[in-house]
Each structure stands twice: as structure tokens, then as C-alpha cells.
């Protein structure tokens, strides 16, 4: 029996109206891909929907043996739904898709073909978006520019759920806390071959958007985390050492300023010829030097946490990609 | 957190004592799965264990549910222990007991009992009959109806007005901080679906806040109004120490339920605020020096500004370490629980083909 070739992962949260259409369209896309990509599986991850979504999914399951449904114990959010889908996926290629019909399943074949041409990740790019400009598109443009700028990986549209991955890539990455949108960036940082492909984007037909503008600030912090934490975690002591030395530099700068101004005052203060201004500078100096000690200790603490987790001994994405591409 | 199981810590009770009373035997007492496990942490030797077993047991019997009572003796022995031995002889496996040599607190009692409990539903009860046992019917039927956690609301209450006042104030504060509408967090007579307790880690003094944690994690928490029978424990003013501890507990609950996976959001906001305030002060003073020619000396405000910046940077540093800890543990953190996988079994799927 042939193993599963292709896994389509769809996070579902309250999409009762869209599901049947979505399933039909995915079916057509799979049909178009031919025998080579069958058997495929369609993995619906039900993020504890409160409407009739689960019933619809189960009735789809009765008609179509390719469908599998994962029901969450409670609502965990889209990142958890995707990472559950990745954990459960059996195919050698995983395609993720939004449940709200804004992605067009007809794009799946071209993405998978693109992946087969030697890429590890193919990310969808909704070049012509059908969302409001101020609230949805503008923040997204700014965020994506920032992501491209800080990570050095230029991806126009990180928010698009339609993506195709080699299974080895997603299985070796651990995403948590709303990091799903950074998957291509994360993997590219480890040396994965990432490719963008323009996909269709359709206006919302049912229900309403589950996002708002409030996440902009959070995305920024997440961005910082994505950019630096992975690096930090490999050798925390080095990075904290750099911070520590930087603060020490500031401290020395203050010290030099204080020394240069020595004796120019009126001879109050400690009786060493320091004036009030120099006293202030020396206090600042002491505070800054306390930061030097603080960051060194913090670096040691981080080192301890990383060592205790055993992370440094496990196989990482870099190594897997290395083996993949020889 | 789990309990060390060496014989030093847990001394399992031995059988003994004469069977007492006329308790009808049941055929399910030794089943591996029951409907309800009542867990009772015992914290003083004058606990009314017999009353608890008789009141709750007969009510559960009346409802036709298979039940057991698990007593956890939290470093106490004495009269109550002897009584439990008698009960065990009389009820067989329907009454069980665990004993700690030293007191560990309610949370540890609960997790030790959970490891041994056989019920699908867990009912936690104080060591006396605090609430009318008849209320079990509405509480358990709420669980049957799909709720994950049933928390009681003692109304009207029977304890002295000073207690009621403090309790009401406490609950009011919690309500306004957590923005959830629970009236009574201080009553431990709760009915909980077992999976919830497997998912929600209980430790420290978090026992009190179980409904809050469960609610914040997305479980369906339902409040049921119950009839209050009597109240034990401290009366009068609870003292500043207790209030301080409660406040810190609330803080911990807020942090753990919201920011566990994103420590930098929490520390970053706090540190950023401090740093920003410090930067504004320092820039203001520098501006005065540069443009107005006012000397920096003799201005303690400068120190405050620098201190705030240093503080902000240090808090950010904590956030960084937090992120590193979470990142390096990401593989062990499973963020989700799958309740059920629906799929066509492989045989049926390929039945016709091969």
C-alpha cells in the first residue's frame, strides 16, 4: 500500500458554511494533481468550534475517507492548530490552508509542483488582496517590510496561510505562541530554500475576520523574539557578554568624561577635588557597571536553562536540511 | 508536581478494624473506572470524615453513580485516621486513603489523589459537609451537560458577617482584575471533569484559583448556586499576611495563564515603560543643560532618570531569559490537547483495492 503523499492541513474555527465548499474545492485540486500524489489526506483541525463545524466535518468524513478530523479539547488558536496538523500529518508534503475560503485550493497543485523543483518551503503571496486597506493591508505591508528588513529574508506576505512544506522541515520546527506566520522566515534562517508564489485571494464569503489591528504591537515583539531568540539560545553567554561589554563601554565613557572634568570644579564633594557634576557622573558610572555584572550573570542563567533543556544535543533544522540537500 | 512515592513520605494504610454499620455491598466497588471520585484533603484530626462519606456517598448512590471517596491526610493522623480505617473496612474500595507524613498543602493532596482516583468526574470537598449534598445533582448534571468545571456559589451564607464581608471584597477584587463573573472562589466544593485537572497544573496555593486558571485556559466553567450548611475555619479579620499572599497569587495566576509562552510581552511592556520614563527624564534634563544652560549638578532627578533606564533594561533582560527558557523547552511544551481524532480506519479506506 502506498504511503500518504500529500497532507492538506486546514485549521477550522467556526466555518460551518465554508466547509462543504472548501472540501469540494480541495477535492478538485487533488483530482487535478493526478495519481502521483494520491493517496492524499485532508486534515481538518477543529479548534473547538462553537457552531456546527464539527458535525459538517464528520459528515464529510463519512463521504470521503481522505478526511481526518482532529478535535481540540478547547480553543488553542491558529498556531496550535497548525502545529497539531504538522504533528499528525503523514504525507511527505504538507500544505496549509485557511478555512475561510479566502485562499483558493486551486493554487495547491502549482505550489506543490514548485516545491518539487527543489524548494523546502513555498509561501503564498496574496498580491491582490481583497481586504480593507487601512485596517488589514497597511499594517500587513509595514509588518512584512519590517520582517524582511530585520531578518534579511524577503517575503512579501507572511500572513498568508497557504503554504507548502517538505514534511521534514515542519516536523523539525517547534512553533508556539502565534509564530505560525514566521514559519518561512524561521526556516530560511536555518538555510531552507524558500520560494514565493503568487496565489489568488478571494473576498470573504461567510462569517467575519477573526483578526484585528490590536495585534500589530504583539507582532513586533514576536518579530524581535523570532529574530534573536534562536540565535541567543545557541550560545546565550556570548550574546549576553556582548550586551554586558556594551554597557561596560558606556560606563567607561562616563568615567573618561568624569576624569577629564576632574579638578575643574570648585573642590566640593568627597574632598578629592570632585565637584557636584562629577559626583553625579560617578554615581551613574556605578549604576552602569552594576548592569555589566547583571548581564553577565543573566547570561550564565540563560546558559544554564539551555543546557538543562538538552536543546543543544537534539537534531536541529539546519542539520536535517544539510542532509536533505547533501 | 507529583508526590514522591517512597514509603518515607506516603505511608499507605493497612487494613484492619471491625466492619461497622449496615452498608449494602455493591458489585462495582473494584471497577477500574467509576463515575465520580470525591477527593477530600484532610488537614486536621477532627475532620468529620464519616459525615462526608455518608452524606456524599448516599447522595451519589441515590443518583445511581459509581463513586469513591479518596481521603488525603495532609500530615495529620489521630481520630480521623482511625475513623477512615473503619470506613475502609466497611465500604471496601469505595473509601480509600493516602497519608503524607508531612503537610504539603491542598494542591499536592489533589495531585496525589488524582494519580489514584478512578472517576471520570472529580469532586473536591472540604473535610466536613460544607454544602448540602443534594447540590451534587445539579453540579454533576452541569458536567453531564458539557461543562468542564463547576464551581459553587454559597448563597446565602451562614458564617459571621465579617467573614462574609472579607470574602465578598476578595471576590470583588478578583472579578475586577480577571474580568470574570464568579461570586465565590473560596468554596472548595467543586465538580471537575478529570481531563481538565490533567491539563491544568495545580501547584502551590493555586488550589483556590483553579476555576480561574481553568477559565483562562479556555475551559467551560459554570457557577452553580448552592445551599451553605456550615463553615469551619478562621473567623474574624484574616490579617495582612493572608491578603499579601492572595495578591501575589493573583499576580502569578495572571502571569502564568497569559504570558507563559510569551514572557517578553510581559517583561517587555513593564521594562519598556520604565525605560521610556527614564529616557524622557534624562532627555529633558539634557535639553535644559544644552539649551537653557542650567547645570546638571544638584538635580536628583538625573539619578531617578538613570535608575529608571537601568531598571527598564534589567526587566527587559529578564524577559529575554524567559524567552530563551521557553524557546529551549519548545519541544517539550505541547500547546494543545487533542480531544479526539475522527478518521476512517485504514482497512475500510482501502478495503476494495487490496
Q: How many CA atoms lie less than 13 Å away from A17 in the CB half-sphere?
A: 7
Q: Which of A14-28, A248-262, A273-287, B6-20 has the lowest mean pLDDT?
A: B6-20
The pLDDT-based confidence of A50 (bands split at 50, 70, 90) is confident
- Tell me how close the Cα of B75 comes to any Cα of chain A, in angstroms: 33
Which residues of chain B neighbour A311 with C-beta distances below 8 Å?
327-329, 331
**Residue of B297, B329, B336 with shortest CB distance to A309:** B329
Split at pLDDT 50, 70, 90, the class of B329 is confident
Give the model's confidence band at B22: pLDDT under 50 very low, under 70 low, under 90 confident, else very high: low
pLDDT value at B3 more than 50 = no
Query: A216 to chain B: which residues are within 8 Å by CB?
Result: none
Q: Write down the pLDDT at residue B240.
A: 79
**Cβ–Cβ < 8 Å for B184, B167:** yes
Q: How far apart are CA A233 and CA A241, in angstroms?
A: 13
Distance CA A24, CA B324 (A): 43
Contact call for A306 and B314, based on CB within 8 A: no
pLDDT at B86: 92
- Among A80, A276, A302, the residue with its CB nearest the CB of B335 is A80
Residue B56 CB neighbours (<10 A): 22
CA-to-CA distance for A73 and A109, rounded, in angstroms? Answer: 33
**CB-CB neighbours of B68 under 10 Å:** 26
Tell me what pLDDT residue B280 has.
95
Cβ-proximal residues to B221 (8 Å cutoff; 6+ apart), any chain: B147, B148, B149, B150, B151, B180, B182, B211, B214, B215
Q: Does residue B5 surpass a pLDDT of 50?
A: no
Alpha helices in B28-97 (DSSP H): 49-62, 79-91
- CA distance, residue B339 to nearest chain A CA (Å): 5
pLDDT in tens, B266-301: 888 899 899 999 999 989 988 887 888 777 767 788
- State chain A's mean pLDDT as an integer: 79
Nearest to B214 by CA among B125, B294, B122: B122
- Measure in Å the smallest separation between the Cα of B301 and chain A Cα atoms: 11
Residue of B328, B336, B349 lying closest to A306 (CB–CB): B328
Of B195, B262, B330, which has the smallest distance from its Cβ to A174's Cβ? B330
Res B354 pLDDT > 70: no
For B140, the grid coordinates are 454533576
Cα nearest neighbour of B353 on chain A = A1
The DSSP annotation for B262-274 comes to -HHHHHHHHHHHH
Please report the pLDDT score of residue B70 as a whole number.
Answer: 94
* Beta-carbon contacts of residue A304 (< 8 Å; ≥ 6 apart): none
Residue A16: per-residue pLDDT: 85
Gap from B333 CA to chain A (nearest CA, Å) = 8
Q: What 3-state class would DSSP assign to A74?
A: coil
> Is the separation of the CB atoms in B246 and B173 below 8 Å?
no
Query: B155 near B228, Cβ under 8 Å?
Result: yes
Burial B136-157 (b: 16+ CB within 10 A, else e): beebbebbeeebbbbbbbbeeb
Inform me whether the pLDDT recorded for A183 exceeds 90.
no
Q: Is the pLDDT of residue A300 over 70?
A: yes
Which residue from A61, A25, A69 is spatially nearest to A43, judged by alpha carbons? A69
Q: Could you say which of A61, A70, A298 has the minimum Cβ distance to residue B321? A: A298
Contact B150, B191 (CB under 8 A): yes
Which of A58, A72, A177 minimises the CB distance to B262? Answer: A177
Collect all residues with Cβ–Cβ distance below 8 Å to A133 and sequence separation of at least 6.
none
Average pLDDT for residues A180-184, to the nearest whole number? Answer: 76
* Euclidean distance between CA atoms B73 and B281, whole angstroms: 57
* CATH level 3 topology of A6-229: Spore Coat Polysaccharide Biosynthesis Protein SpsA; Chain A (3.90.550)
SS3 call for B80:
helix
Q: Quick one: DSSP state of residue A122?
A: E
- Write out chain B residues lying below 8 Å of A225, CB-based: 262, 264, 323, 327
pLDDT, one tens digit per residue, over B179-211 is: 677 888 888 899 999 888 877 766 666 788 888
CB A121 within 8 A of CB A163: yes
Burial classification of residue B16, based on how many CB atoms lie within 10 Å of its CB (0-12 exposed, 13-18 middle, 19 or more buried): exposed
Q: With 50 as the cut, is the pLDDT of residue B11 above it?
A: no
| pLDDT tens sequence across B118-133 | 999 999 999 988 899 9
Cell numbers that stand for A42 in this block: 485532508
State the smallest CA–CA distance between residue B120 and chain A in angstroms.
16
Residue that is written with C-alpha cell 480577571 in the block: B178
Identify which of B302, B330, B343 has the shortest CB distance to residue A176.
B330
Q: Do B341 and A70 touch (CB under 8 A)?
A: yes
CB contact under 8 A, A74 and B219: yes
Which pLDDT band, with edges at 50, 70 and 90, does A275 fall under?
low
Provide, as residue numbers in chain B, all residues whose Cβ is less than 8 Å from the Cβ of A11: none
The angle that helices B49-62 and B135-144 make with each other, rounded to 10 degrees, is: 60
pLDDT at B207: 80
Residue B8 has pLDDT above 60, yes or no: no
pLDDT tens, residue by residue, B70-97: 999 998 888 889 999 999 998 888 999 9
Nearest C-alpha in B relative to A73: B339
The pLDDT value given to residue B12: 36
pLDDT at residue B24 above 90? no
Q: Is A276 on the interface with B (CB under 8 A)?
A: yes
Considering only CA atoms, give the Rg of chain B. 26
Q: Give the pLDDT mean for A188-215.
A: 71
| Average pLDDT of span A117-126 | 87
- Residue-by-residue DSSP string for A247-258: HHHHHHHHHHHH
Distance in angstroms (rounded) separating the CA atoms of residues B48 and B50: 6
pLDDT digits (tens, 9 = 90+) for A14-48: 888 888 899 999 999 988 888 888 888 999 999 88
**Of A189 and B285, the one with more pLDDT:** B285
Q: Does A148 have pLDDT greater than 50? A: yes
pLDDT band at B69; cut points 50, 70, 90: very high
pLDDT band at A267 (very low <50, low <70, confident <90, very high): very low
Distance (Å, whole) CA B70 – CA A11: 41
Report how far apart, in Å, the C-alpha atoms of B199 and of each of A49, A77, B119, B202 are.
19, 16, 16, 9
pLDDT band, very low/low/confident/very high, at B16 (cuts 50, 70, 90): very low
Q: Which of A61, A224, A291 sits opposite B313 (nearest CB)?
A: A291
Contacts of A247 in chain B (CB under 8 A): 313
Beta-carbon contacts of residue B146 (< 8 Å; ≥ 6 apart): B220
In chain B, residues with a C-beta closer than 8 Å to the C-beta of A67 are 343-344
Which of A3-17, A110-124, B174-188 bottoms out in mean pLDDT, i.e. has the lowest?
A: B174-188
| A contact residues 235-264, partner B, Cβ 8 Å cutoff | 236, 243, 247
> What is residue A316's predicted lDDT score, i.e. its pLDDT?
65
**What integer pLDDT is reported at residue B204 of this predicted model?**
64
The winner for highest mean pLDDT among A220-224, A306-310, B150-154 is B150-154
Tell me the chain B residues in contact with residue A218 when contact means C-beta distances shorter than 8 Å. Answer: 262, 265
- The CA distance from A31 to the nearest CA of chain B, in Å, is 17
| Three-point CA angle B177, B183, B189, nearest 5° | 120
Nearest to B306 among A224, A236, A284 (CB): A284
Closest CA to B95 of B111, B76, B81: B81
What is the mean pLDDT of the segment spanning B44-65?
A: 90
- CB-based contacts of A169: which residues, under 8 Å, 6+ apart? A120, A121, A187, A192, A317, A320, A321
The DSSP-derived string for B214-259 is: HHHTT--EEEEEE-B----S--S---HHHHHHHHHHHHHHHHHHHH
Task: Give the Cβ contact number of residue B277 at 10 Å.
Answer: 16
What cell does A29 get? 485540486
Alpha carbons A129 and A112: distance in angstroms, whole number: 22
Asked whether the ipTM of the predicted complex exceeds the cut of 0.90, the reply is: no
Q: Which of B13-17, B40-44, B144-148 has the lowest mean pLDDT?
A: B13-17
Handedness of CA A86, A92, A93, A95 (dihedral sign): negative
**Beta carbons of A295 and B219 less than 8 Å apart:** no
pLDDT at B352: 40
Task: Give me the residue spans of the domains in chain B.
Answer: 34-258, 263-329
Q: Does A73 touch chain B (CB under 8 A)?
A: yes
Q: Residue A261: name the closest of A249, A273, A248, A247 by CA.
A: A273
Nearest to B168 by CA among B184, B181, B152: B184
One of 1.10.3720.10, 3.40.50.2000, 3.90.550.10, 3.90.870.10 is the CATH number of B34-258, namely 3.90.550.10
- Domain spans, chain A: 6-229, 235-325
Residue of B nearest to A236 (CA): B324
**Residue A148 contacts B where some CB pair is shorter than 8 Å:** no
State the average pLDDT for chain B.
Answer: 81
Helix (H) or strand (E) holding A44: strand A40-46
Please count the CA atoms within 13 angstroms of the CA of A193 that sit on its side-chain side: 12
Q: Do residue B218 and residue A84 have CB atoms under 8 angstroms apart?
A: no
Chains A and B form CB pairs within 8 A to the count of 150
Higher per-residue confidence, A275 vs B167: B167
As a 3-state breakdown, chain B gives helix, strand, coil percent values, each rounded to 5, of 50, 15, 35
Q: B318, A298: Cβ pair inside 8 Å?
A: yes
Please give the pLDDT value at position B25: 76
Which chain B residues contact residue A292 at CB under 8 A?
none
Amino acid at each position: 500500500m502506498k504511503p500518504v503523499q500529500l497532507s492538506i492541513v486546514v485549521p477550522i474555527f467556526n466555518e460551518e458554511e465554508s466547509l462543504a465548499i472548501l472540501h469540494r474545492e480541495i477535492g478538485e485540486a487533488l483530482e487535478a494533481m493526478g495519481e502521483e500524489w494520491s493517496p492524499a489526506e485532508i486534515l481538518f483541525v477543529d479548534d473547538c468550534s462553537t457552531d456546527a463545524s464539527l458535525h459538517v466535518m464528520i459528515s464529510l468524513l463519512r463521504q470521503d475517507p481522505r478526511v481526518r478530523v482532529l478535535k481540540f479539547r478547547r480553543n488553542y488558536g491558529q498556531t496550535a492548530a497548525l502545529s497539531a496538523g504538522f504533528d499528525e500529518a503523514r504525507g511527505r508534503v504538507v500544505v496549509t490552508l485557511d478555512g475561510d475560503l479566502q485562499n483558493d485550493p486551486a493554487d495547491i497543485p502549482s505550489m506543490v509542483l514548485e516545491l518539487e523543483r527543489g524548494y523546502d518551503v513555498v509561501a503564498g503571496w496574496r498580491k491582490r488582496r481583497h481586504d480593507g486597506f487601512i485596517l488589514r493591508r497597511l499594517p500587513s505591508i509595514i509588518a512584512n517590510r519590517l520582517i524582511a528588513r530585520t531578518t534579511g529574508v524577503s517575503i512579501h506576505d507572511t500572513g498568508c496561510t497557504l503554504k507548502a512544506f517538505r514534511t521534514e522541515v515542519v516536523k523539525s520546527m517547534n512553533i508556539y505562541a502565534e509564530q505560525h506566520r514566521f514559519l518561512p522566515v524561521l526556516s530560511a534562517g536555518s538555510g531552507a530554500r524558500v520560494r514565493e508564489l503568487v496565489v489568488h485571494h478571494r473576498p470573504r464569503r461567510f462569517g467575519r475576520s477573526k483578526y484585528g489591528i490590536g495585534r500589530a504591537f504583539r507582532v513586533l515583539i514576536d518579530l524581535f523574539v523570532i529574530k534573536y531568540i534562536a540565535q541567543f539560545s545557541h550560545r546565550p553567554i556570548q550574546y549576553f557578554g556582548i550586551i554586558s561589554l556594551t554597557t561596560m563601554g558606556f560606563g567607561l565613557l562616563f568615567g573618561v568624561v568624569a576624569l577629564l572634568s576632574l579638578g575643574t570644579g570648585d573642590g566640593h564633594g568627597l574632598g578629592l577635588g570632585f565637584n557636584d557634576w562629577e559626583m553625579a557622573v560617578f554615581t551613574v558610572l556605578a549604576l552602569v557597571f552594576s548592569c555589566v555584572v547583571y548581564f553577565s550573570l543573566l547570561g550564565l542563567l540563560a546558559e544554564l536553562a539551555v543546557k538543562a533543556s538538552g536543546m543543544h544535543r537534539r537534531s536541529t533544522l539546519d542539520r536535517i536540511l544539510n542532509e536533505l540537500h547533501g | 508536581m507529583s508526590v514522591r512515592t517512597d514509603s518515607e513520605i506516603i505511608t499507605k494504610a493497612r487494613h484492619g478494624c471491625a466492619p461497622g454499620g449496615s452498608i449494602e455491598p455493591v458489585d462495582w466497588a473494584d471497577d477500574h473506572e467509576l463515575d465520580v471520585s470525591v477527593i477530600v484533603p484532610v488537614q486536621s484530626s477532627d475532620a468529620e470524615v464519616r459525615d462526608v462519606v455518608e452524606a456524599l456517598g448516599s447522595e451519589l448512590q441515590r443518583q445511581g453513580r459509581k463513586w469513591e471517596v479518596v481521603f488525603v491526610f495532609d500530615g495529620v493522623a489521630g481520630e480521623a485516621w482511625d475513623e477512615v480505617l473503619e470506613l475502609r473496612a466497611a465500604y471496601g474500595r469505595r473509601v480509600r486513603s493516602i497519608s503524607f507524613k508531612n503537610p504539603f498543602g491542598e494542591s499536592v493532596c489533589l495531585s496525589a489523589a488524582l494519580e489514584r482516583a478512578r472517576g471520570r468526574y472529580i469532586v473536591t470537598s472540604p473535610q466536613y459537609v460544607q454544602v448540602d449534598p443534594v447540590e451534587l445533582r445539579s453540579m454533576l448534571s452541569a458536567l453531564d451537560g458539557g461543562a468542564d468545571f463547576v464551581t459553587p456559589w454559597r448563597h446565602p451564607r451562614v458564617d459571621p458577617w465579617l467573614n462574609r464581608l472579607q470574602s465578598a471584597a476578595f471576590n470583588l477584587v478578583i472579578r475586577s482584575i480577571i474580568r470574570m463573573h464568579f461570586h465565590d472562589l473560596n468554596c472548595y466544593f467543586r465538580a471537575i471533569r478529570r481531563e481538565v485537572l490533567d491539563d491544568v497544573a495545580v501547584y502551590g496555593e493555586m488550589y483556590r484559583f483553579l476555576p480561574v486558571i481553568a477559565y483562562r485556559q479556555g475551559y467551560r466553567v459554570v457557577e452553580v448556586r448552592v445551599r451553605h450548611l456550615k463553615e469551619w475555619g478562621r473567623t474574624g479579620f484574616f490579617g495582612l499576611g493572608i491578603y499579601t499572599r492572595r495578591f501575589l497569587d493573583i499576580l502569578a495566576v495572571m502571569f502564568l495563564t497569559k504570558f507563559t509562552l510569551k514572557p517578553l510581552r510581559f517583561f517587555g511592556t513593564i521594562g519598556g515603560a520604565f525605560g521610556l520614563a527614564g529616557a524622557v527624564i534624562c532627555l529633558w534634563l539634557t535639553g535644559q543643560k544644552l539649551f537653557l544652560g542650567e547645570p546638571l549638578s544638584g538635580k536628583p532627578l538625573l539619578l531617578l532618570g538613570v535608575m529608571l533606564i537601568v531598571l527598564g533594561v534589567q526587566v527587559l533582560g529578564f524577559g529575554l531569559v524567559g524567552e530563551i527558557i521557553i524557546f529551549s523547552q519548545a519541544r517539550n511544551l505541547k500547546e494543545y490537547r487533542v480531544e479526539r481524532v475522527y478518521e476512517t480506519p485504514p482497512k475500510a479506506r482501502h478495503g476494495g483495492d487490496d
